[in-house]
A and B are shown apart, each in its own frame.
Chain A
Amino acid sequence: MSGRSLSLYAVLYLVFIYAPILLLPVFSFNDNIFVTFPLKGFTTDWYAEMAANAPLGKALRSSLIIVGPVALISTSLGLMAALALGRSPIRFKAVIIGLLMLPLVVPTLVLGVSLLTLLRGVLGVQLSLATVAAGHVLLCLPYSVVILLARLDGFDRSLEEASLDLGQSAFATFRRITLPLMMPAIVASLLLCSVVSFDEFLLAFFLSGADATLPLYIWGSLRFPAKLPSTLALGTCLLVFSVCIVVLAEWVRRRGAPGSTAATGL
């Protein structure tokens, strides 16, 4: 294939991925309650409507409340698991890694039903944002372990041995050497877990009580055509926010990569 047709292929590829997403901001500024071409005119009304929408604000707040704890708990648990798997001789390592990764392949629908059964039927727990958060931790853990384990494999074990050799205790070595070197992966894990939790619908659907998370609210509001344009406005805001997060994550990752000039502050 020639260079020209390869370039064309690459462009088509990107259009295929991003064109649907880019329709979101276009229609969010369109002065028409029906989401259809041709475009009628420019308006920011939908954004004003979105901002004034109290249930939406509440759902957003609910989502944001659980994102922090979910990201922190999953990343902490993931870090402990990664250190155990990557740094100590452990039996049945492959089996343990397999079990940790299972939530990635078990259908979320099945997870949701079984968690609901466990929480309501067996434990008799009241459904709330806390139960949603617990479910999200389960879902985020494999991502966290994968990210952290990869970073742990990526740096030389003898760095930690050198720290011990130079008189530092195991804990001081973790604090002075392991943790700083893991930091880019820890930040990446926090960001990814946040995104997964923020975006998650199925588990939230099963496990939430009276408080809807944002995805639940959006799904609910799609039943009313009049609310669609303001949902598009919301989608646009989320899109801009995620792009910022991705850029931030990449910047952090590059800063942390050894050999980069950014790491030196020069």
Chain B
Amino acid sequence: MGPAQGRPGFYGGNRAMNGTPDIMIEITGLTKAFGTYTAIDALSLKIAKGEFFALLGASGSGKTTLLRLLGGFEFPNAGRIVIDGKDVTDLRPNQRPTNTVFQSYALFPHLTLAENVGYGLLNLRLPKAELAARVDEALSRVRLSGFGARFPHMVSGGQRQRVALARALICKPKVLLLDEPLGALDKRLREEMHLELREIQRAAGITFVLVTHDQEEAMSLADRIAIMARGRLLQIDTPRALYEAPNSREVAEFISNVNLLDGTCLGVDGTEARIAVAGIGEVRVSTDAGAIAPGAKVTLGIRPEKLRFVTAPDPGVNALTGSLRVVTYAGDRSHVVVEVPGLTRPLLITTPNRARLLSNADAVGATVIVTWDSAAAAILNS
């Protein structure tokens, strides 16, 4: 297992089962190169049955290539893909127990919505009446009853999206692959579809693999998220663990904003480590016993909302004094930039808009005291 593999065990997975969930997808040593460019680099991954799994990464991270390898649209240079106990590495898309919702939806423009949805059943050679009944049922499941006779260009983007979903689900796949399925929708529709997707996934009990670059989408939908970069997995974890306990600087910075402080461990007192941070002195961080040794170089990651403004810090609590540079008002909260002497990068602080102190633009330039709990900072490996 390379360094790409995250912490062991499944946090989400099949909620219907106790103990170790069954594996639906097992990828081992998968490598895919396009010419000299390595899109997927010796990647290994297990996805549980019934899991909603998200591949999250910037464009060019290899997430779409990985999904295409799973669907059979690309073939790897090395490695195996096993789906539900069967090696599918060399199988074509029509021989795999997977179906795909394409980014462009890929609805057939010359077929009606009903013909689109029924396309996956053509090989079954069903009697006309039964085919029509199953198509009607699939359309009603995505709330499009009565739309069957229309053509794709006659319906809205959100409706097209739901047709694509119905078309893929009618084949009862073991795994549904979704390639940025909500990318083309506006924000409100996207949020509606989030609920709908979760509902459909729960009801159908199908393993979903979602590719997205939208971390909010991944967090609100997925049981587990794999963060991808340069064809590798940086961390595989629950949304909560990725946000609160990222295992590296890169993951911490990819998921939302984070303040990074570089330092050296001075010593550990029980569950608290004392870290000397260059330029600002000693801070205290909660840690598991034995997780960190004196002398170790560490990076602390502190999320902006975990920093607070106080008028006077309690003794023994981490605190910094700085000057307020920028306040960006965002309704329920404000994003504040505070420059601290000794730190190369200013601190980012998100504060709920209860405090009248910061609702005032006159505050810019004021001296402020910033504090955080010792449990607020995550210790990053690299």
B94 near A169 with CB under 8 A, answer: yes
- Residues on A close to B: CB < 8 A? 155-156, 158-159, 161-169, 177, 180-181, 258-259, 263-264
Q: Is B119 an interface residue (CB 8 A)?
A: yes
Chain A residues near B10 (CB-CB < 8 A): none
Q: Which of A161, A167, A169, A263 contacts B106 (CB 8 A)?
A: A161
Contacting pair A181 B110 (CB below 8 A): yes
B: residues with CB less than 8 A from A are: 71-73, 92-94, 98-100, 102-104, 106, 108-110, 119-120, 122-123, 151, 153-154, 167-168, 171
B108 touches A177 (CB 8 A): yes
Min C-beta distance of A123 to chain B, whole Å: 43
- How many residue pairs link A and B with beta carbons under 8 A? The number is 67
Main secondary structure of the interface of A (DSSP, over half): helix
Q: CB within 8 A of B99: which of A165, A181, A259, A263? A: A165
Extra contacts besides A161-B106, A264-B154 (4): CB < 8 Å: A158-B102, A165-B93, A166-B168, A263-B110
| Measured CA separation A165–B169 after assembly (Å) | 12
In the complex, the chain B residue whose C-beta lies closest to that of A156 is B104
Q: How far is the CB of A252 from chain B (nearest CB, A)?
A: 14
B173: nearest chain-A partner, CB-CB: A165
Question: Is A162 within 8 A of B102, CB to CB?
Answer: yes
User: A155 vs B107: C-alpha distance in the bound complex, in angstroms?
Assistant: 11
Tell me whether A168 and B106 are in contact in the complex, defined as CB-CB below 8 angstroms, given that A161-B93, A259-B153, A264-B154 are known contacts.
no
- Say whether, besides A161-B73, A259-B153, A263-B110, A166 and B171 are in contact (CB < 8 Å): yes
| Shortest CB distance A257–B (Å) | 10
B123 proximity list for chain A (CB < 8 A): 167-168
B99 touches A166 (CB 8 A): yes
- B100 and A167: CB pair below 8 A? no
Partner pick for A167 among B108, B122, B154, CB 8 A cutoff: B122
Q: For B73, list chain A residues within 8 Å (CB).
A: 161, 164-165
- Chain A residue nearest to B71 (CB atoms) is A165
B110 touches A180 (CB 8 A): yes
Whether A161 contacts B154 in the complex (CB less than 8 A), given A166-B167, A167-B122, comes out as: no
Residues of A within 8 A of B109 (CB): 155, 159, 181, 258, 263
The contact of B120 among A155, A167, A177, A180, by CB within 8 Å, is A167
Tell whether A158 pairs with B104 under 8 Å between CB atoms, given A168-B123, A258-B153: yes
Given known contacts A258-B153, A264-B154, is B94 in contact with A164 (CB within 8 Å)? yes
Measured in the bound complex, the distance between the Cα atoms of B171 and A20 in whole Å is 62
Chain B residues positioned under 8 Å from A155 (CB to CB): 109
Q: State in angstroms the CA–CA spacing of A68 and B260 once bound together.
A: 74
List the B residue with the shortest CB-CB distance to A183: B110
